[in-house]
Amino acid sequence: MDGEVRGPHSGPMETFESLVRAEFAPENTYLNTASTGLLPARTVKAMRAAVESVAAGQPQDMFADVEESRAAFARLAGVPGGRVAAGASVAVHTGLIAASLPAGAEVLTAEADFTSVVNPFHIRGDLKVRAVPLERIAESVRPGTALVAVSAAQSADGRIADLPAIREAARTHGARTYIDVSQAAGWLPVEADAYDFVSSVAFKWLTCPRGVAFLVVPEDLGGLTPVFAGWVAGERPWDSCYGPVEELAHSARRFDESPSLFSYAGARHSLALIEQLGVDAVRAHDLALADRFRAGLAELGREPLPAPGSPIVSVPGLGGRQGELSRAGIEVSDRAGNLRAAFHLYNTPEDVDRLLDALSG
């Protein structure tokens, strides 16, 4: 880990490594960010302070934390904050989009994509949901396709969708695009403005607490109906607490869920760290570790599933070793019989080598 980044209050330049070491000190070899990212020290401190403020009967303004988090994610996604809704679940955001489609509309999805991205379309019962291999998404868009819904990076094996090709195919046939970046935001630059809808949880590569998720909608709000709008969706929330909301927010905030405030109290600090480090620097770091792992696997005679350019590496036939690795202090995942390792900013070459040593034993 090298390179320099500027601290939040300017002053002396700090290195990527020094910033990361100040925020993370795992007691094991943690290679499981595709499941859950580690929390930075600044985030834990902020959440503790928020909890203690409520315990003391003097709750701090955590709604301000929601707005800071929304603004930070908007910057990372490259869109104005008014286009970002704050919530807790990608499944809810998918359900919101599914509810907006007319009966009989065709939704094109990737085979075996993450459930939260596809299941709400199936639950409707009156939509035509079509699944094709990830690599064939773009060529499978056709006249009459209403929506293409796909993860930017696949949870199971890290494969990255050809998003530019999908975008162009959708435009050619008049289809809308819905991209879930839950396994990409934080290490892969997100260009949310290039798509109609973009969703993401934040507890993975964005190192936020669970209970934080975002949805980016078009400037015109995408024709979505805020079917679960509560008081926080009002243009003046504190005047919208009783009876029907008289005036919905003029921005994407009309799609907000009532927020998990303690989670957002921490999230703003996690997102600030990602901004401070820089997504490009995080990506370079993560991919270098993943490439080191792939090279080591080749020496062991093992071939991972193809996922070039991804920090997620899945190795067929080794998922059953997840338990023994965990007991040895190495955290990875077992996904469909594959051993899934995910390399992120707090990991080191030594972490990679420790996993390789354990697999060779």
Mean of the per-residue pLDDT values for the chain?
Answer: 96
What's the average model confidence in pLDDT over 313-332? Answer: 97
Q: Answer yes or no: do 220 and 298 share one domain.
A: no
Q: Does 47 map to a domain?
A: no
CATH number for the domain including 179? Answer: 3.40.640.10
Q: Answer yes or no: do 324 and 217 share one domain.
A: no
Q: Answer yes or no: do 74 and 146 share one domain.
A: yes
Q: Which amino acid is at 271?
A: L
As a whole number of angstroms, the distance between CA 64 and CA 254 comes to 17
Q: Answer yes or no: do 92 and 216 share one domain.
A: yes
pLDDT in tens, 209-233: 999 999 999 999 999 999 999 999 9
As a whole number of angstroms, the distance between CA 308 and CA 311 comes to 9
Q: Does 312 map to a domain?
A: yes
Q: Answer yes or no: do 150 and 207 share one domain.
A: yes
Q: Answer yes or no: do 262 and 174 share one domain.
A: yes
What percent of the chain clears pLDDT 90, i.e. is strictly above it?
96
Q: Identify whether the C-beta of residue 137 lies closer than 8 Å to the C-beta of residue 107.
A: no
* Structure token digits, residue 224: 């979505």
- pLDDT of 14 reads 82
As a whole number of angstroms, the distance between CA 271 and CA 80 comes to 16
Domain of 239 in residue numbering reads as 62-276
Interacting residues of 295 by C-beta distance below 8 A, sequence separation 6+: none
| Helix residue ranges per DSSP H, the chain | 16-23, 41-55, 62-77, 90-99, 115-124, 137-140, 163-173, 261-277, 279-299, 322-327, 349-360
Listed residues 249, 276, 303: the one ending a domain? 276
Q: Does 55 map to a domain?
A: no
Q: Answer yes or no: do 300 and 314 share one domain.
A: yes
CA 73 from chain center: how many Å? 11
Would you say residue 12 has pLDDT above 90? Answer: no
CATH number for the domain including 310? Answer: 3.90.1150.10
Interacting residues of 330 by C-beta distance below 8 A, sequence separation 6+: 28, 29, 31, 354, 355, 358
Q: Does 102 map to a domain?
A: yes
Confidence class for position 336, pLDDT limits 50, 70, 90: confident
Q: Answer yes or no: do 135 and 248 share one domain.
A: yes
Which of 35, 38, 32 is closest to 342 using CA atoms? Answer: 32
Which of 89, 37, 118, 43 is closest to 214 using CA atoms? Answer: 89
Q: Answer yes or no: do 112 and 172 share one domain.
A: yes
Q: Answer yes or no: do 232 and 164 share one domain.
A: yes
pTM for the complete prediction?
0.95
Apex 161 CA angle, 159 and 166, nearest 5: 165
Listed residues 241, 276, 311: the one ending a domain? 276
Would you say residue 11 has pLDDT above 50? Answer: no
Give the number of domains in the chain: 2
Q: Does 229 map to a domain?
A: yes
What's the average model confidence in pLDDT over 162-167? Answer: 98
pLDDT in tens, 32-85: 999 999 999 999 999 999 999 999 999 999 999 999 999 999 999 999 999 999
Q: Answer yes or no: do 99 and 190 share one domain.
A: yes
As a whole number of angstroms, the distance between CA 128 and CA 349 comes to 46
Listed residues 230, 258, 276: the one ending a domain? 276
What percent of the chain clears pLDDT 70, i.e. is strictly above it?
96
Would you say residue 234 has pLDDT above 80? Answer: yes
* Structure token digits, residue 350: 């030594």
Q: At what angle do helices 62-77 and 261-277 cross, to 10 degrees?
A: 40
Which of 215, 230, 202 is closest to 98 using CA atoms? Answer: 215
Q: Answer yes or no: do 87 and 152 share one domain.
A: yes
Q: Does 56 map to a domain?
A: no
Q: Does 294 map to a domain?
A: yes
Q: Does 49 map to a domain?
A: no
